[in-house]
């Protein structure tokens, strides 16, 4: 009997050991990933700038759960190339994706940099994750068959009223030459349930309450605060017009900007700051943007509530990011589309296991770091093609704070570098801008020719990308004449019309 009992005990021990080492149990030790992108969101949210008393309690809630980067910068101040950079882990200067590229054309044999690339969600799938996605994650939604489960994307940025409330979408632009945008603002529709982002949140919430036999990657792309700045009236009511501030503005600010910079800033389809001032619309545009922020904050809160109520609350990594900043009157217009601070800076927040809570980091970082950071925090092997640097040790141990910098690219060989409180911009023709944020946070005075800053400028020049690929043949941006001209010139292509896939998508 003793021998039988001993044998039974040995078998039981082996059984327990084998059970613990099954693939499902091992996989479940990896954290889930909740990947949230918010379109056109600048740093006005309350955990960062708290501009004009914006009401964003759920952004604050997420900030308290983890780490907030107050000085994060995108790799392109335009949604298509910015998102392609995050998802490929490559710089625009490496891929030549400087404009809008159809999701299914990013990876193809015609582009040597991306022909064999593994997109961020795919890397997680290849390492045992169940992947899901809804909304705007790439430029439109995602390449075909990207996710195990896809909720797709509602076309456009509606809902729209039958007639525009304020702006005609063309401004000073010429029909047939310049693109027409969705830029407009006002209270519409009547209910949150009519907003595409509400349906996307519902889809994600339902999946947070499911059971999975392996870790999951869930991508959620919110459309707001992208124009048109339409949300229900109650979100406008939270921001009374009389309490609205306007950002700092200097008439004549662009007098010391090089010609290429002025061409890039030529946006005839967008409202100008002078127009908004003269027509009494500036505060109304700000109010609409803040209303959209508060609305997206509400949808974020619904997601955080669902995660908290799920079985995955303690084992899920969250990253929230935006594809670029947004100018609300700074530098003369209402748009992204620039290499200045207000266009390149955007929120970046991480939360989850083994990360500090309520920490803020002011060092400049790149959205390019999202891919390698998620891999390291998830315990996955590094992806050799990633050009970004993981932020895990910066968050956990403050490693690399003093060496940190960020590069933004807009078109071929136009770059901005943010480091040590300075912004250096170099255009394709060698013309430069330089700003010392310690004395000029609004970037009103170009000090590129000031000998006082010669050594600082030379040090930043060293960081410029060594590779400046020609435009990817499938990448276009037709809303600004400069980018059409540049692609034609550098690629030697015939100047022919292309189907616009820009701001109206």
By annotation, the residues acting in catalysis are 79, 139
Q: Are the C-beta atoms of residues 337 and 480 closer than 8 Å to each other?
A: yes
User: Tokens in use for 70?
Assistant: 């107050």
Task: Name the 3-class secondary structure at 406.
Answer: strand
Q: What distance in Å separates the CA atoms of residue 302 and residue 285, rounded to the nearest whole number? A: 26
Q: Are the C-beta atoms of residues 424 and 339 closer than 8 Å to each other?
A: no
Give the length of the chain.
Answer: 505
Q: What distance in Å separates the CA atoms of residue 187 and residue 291, rounded to the nearest whole number? A: 9
Task: Name the 3-class secondary structure at 173.
Answer: coil
User: Tokens in use for 429?
Assistant: 């023709």
CB-based burial label for 79 (10 Å; 0-12, 13-18, 19+):
buried
Q: What distance in Å separates the CA atoms of residue 211 and residue 317, rounded to the nearest whole number? A: 17
Pairing label, strands 316-322, 348-351? antiparallel
Q: What distance in Å separates the CA atoms of residue 83 and residue 476, rounded to the nearest whole number? A: 15
Q: What distance in Å separates the CA atoms of residue 294 and residue 197, rounded to the nearest whole number? A: 13
DSSP annotation of 370 reads H
Q: What distance in Å separates the CA atoms of residue 283 and residue 382, rounded to the nearest whole number? A: 46
Q: What distance in Å separates the CA atoms of residue 309 and residue 291, rounded to the nearest whole number? A: 27
User: Tokens in use for 175?
Assistant: 């029909």
Nearest by Cα to 76 from 62, 64, 66, 86: 86
**Paired residues of 221 in beta bridges:** 37, 135
CB-based burial label for 494 (10 Å; 0-12, 13-18, 19+):
exposed
User: Tokens in use for 264?
Assistant: 């890039």
Q: Are the C-beta atoms of residues 286 and 271 closer than 8 Å to each other?
A: no
Q: Which H or E run contains 143?
A: none
Q: Are the C-beta atoms of residues 240 and 54 closer than 8 Å to each other?
A: no
Nearest by Cα to 409 from 140, 112, 139, 82: 82
Q: Which residue has the tokens 């960081």?
A: 463
């Amino acid at each position: 009997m003793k021998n039988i009992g001993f044998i039974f005990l040995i078998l039981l021990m082996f059984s327990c050991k084998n059970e613990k080492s099954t693939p499902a149990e091992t996989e479940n030790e990896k954290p889930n990933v909740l990947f949230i992108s918010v379109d056109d969101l600048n740093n006005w949210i309350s955990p960062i700038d708290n501009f004009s008393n914006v009401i964003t309690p759920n952004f604050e809630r997420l900030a308290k759960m983890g780490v907030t980067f107050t000085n994060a910068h995108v790799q392109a101040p335009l949604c298509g190339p910015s998102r392609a950079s995050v998802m490929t882990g490559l710089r625009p200067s490496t891929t030549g994706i400087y404009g809008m590229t159809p999701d299914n054309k990013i990876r193809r044999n015609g582009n040597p940099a991306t022909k064999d690339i593994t997109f961020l969600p795919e890397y997680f799938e290849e390492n045992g994750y169940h992947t899901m996605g809804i909304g705007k994650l790439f430029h439109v939604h995602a390449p075909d068959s990207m996710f195990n489960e896809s909720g797709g994307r509602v076309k456009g940025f509606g809902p729209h009223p039958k007639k525009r409330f304020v702006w005609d979408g063309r401004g000073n632009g010429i029909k047939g030459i310049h693109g027409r945008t969705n830029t407009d603002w006002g209270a519409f529709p009547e209910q949150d349930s009519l907003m595409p982002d509400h349906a996307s949140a519902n889809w994600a919430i339902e999946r947070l309450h499911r059971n999975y036999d392996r870790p999951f990657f869930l991508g959620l792309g919110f459309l707001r605060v992208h124009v048109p700045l339409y949300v229900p009236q109650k979100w406008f009511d939270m921001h009374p017009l009389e309490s609205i501030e306007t950002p700092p503005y200097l008439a004549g600010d662009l007098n010391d900007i090089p010609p290429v910079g002025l061409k890039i800033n030529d946006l005839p389809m967008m409202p100008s700051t002078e127009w908004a001032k003269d027509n009494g619309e500036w505060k109304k545009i700000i109010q609409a943007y803040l209303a959209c922020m508060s609305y997206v904050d509400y949808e974020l809160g619904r997601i955080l509530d669902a995660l908290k109520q799920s079985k995955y609350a303690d084992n899920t990594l969250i990253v929230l990011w935006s594809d670029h900043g947004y100018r609300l009157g700074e530098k003369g217009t209402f748009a992204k589309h620039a290499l200045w601070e207000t266009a390149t800076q955007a929120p970046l927040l991480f939360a989850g296991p083994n990360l500090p809570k309520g920490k803020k980091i002011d060092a400049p970082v790149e959205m390019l770091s999202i891919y390698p950071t998620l891999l390291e925090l998830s315990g996955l092997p590094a992806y050799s093609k990633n050009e970004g640097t993981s932020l895990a040790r910066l968050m956990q141990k403050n490693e690399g704070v003093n060496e940190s910098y960020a590069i933004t690219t807009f078109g071929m060989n136009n770059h901005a570098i943010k480091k040590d409180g300075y912004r250096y911009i170099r255009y394709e023709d060698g013309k430069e801008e330089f700003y010392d944020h310690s004395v000029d946070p609004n970037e009103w005075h170009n000090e590129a020719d000031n000998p006082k800053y010669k050594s600082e400028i030379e040090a930043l020049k060293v960081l410029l990308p060594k590779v400046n690929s020609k435009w990817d043949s499938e990448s276009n941006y037709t809303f600004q004449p400069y980018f059409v001209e540049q692609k034609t010139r550098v690629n030697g292509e015939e100047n022919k019309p292309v189907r616009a896939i820009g701001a109206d998508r």
